Amino acid sequence: MYSLIETYKLNGQFRWISSQMNRVRNGELYRYIADNSGSFVQPAFYEAFGLTVVEAMTCGLPTFVTVHGGPAKIIVHGKSGFYIDPYQGLHVAQLLVNFFGRSKPDPSYWETISMGGLKLIQEKYAWQIYSDRLSTLAGVYGFWKYVSKLDHLEIRRYLEMFYGLKYRKLAEDVPRAVDE
Confidence of residue 163 (pLDDT cuts 50, 70, 90): low
Give 20-48 as a DSSP string: ---HHHHHHHHHHHHHTT--EEE--S-BS
- Exposed, middle or buried, 14 (CB in 10 Å: 0-12/13-18/19+)? middle
pLDDT higher than 80, residue 43: yes
- pLDDT digit string (tens) for 57-103? 999 999 999 999 888 889 999 999 999 999 998 999 999 999 999 99
The DSSP 8-state label assigned to residue 67 in this structure reads S
The answer to which of 26-30, 46-50, 134-138 has the lowest mean pLDDT is 134-138
Residue ranges per domain, the chain?
2-125, 128-172
- The pLDDT assigned to 120 comes to 93
pLDDT higher than 60, residue 18: yes
SS3 of residue 173 by DSSP: coil
pLDDT higher than 90, residue 143: no
pTM: 0.68
The residues facing 81 across adjacent strands are 77
CATH number for the 2-125 domain, one of 2.40.10.480, 3.40.640.10, 3.40.50.2000, 3.90.870.20?
3.40.50.2000
Q: How many CA atoms lie less than 13 Å away from 32 in the CB half-sphere?
A: 8
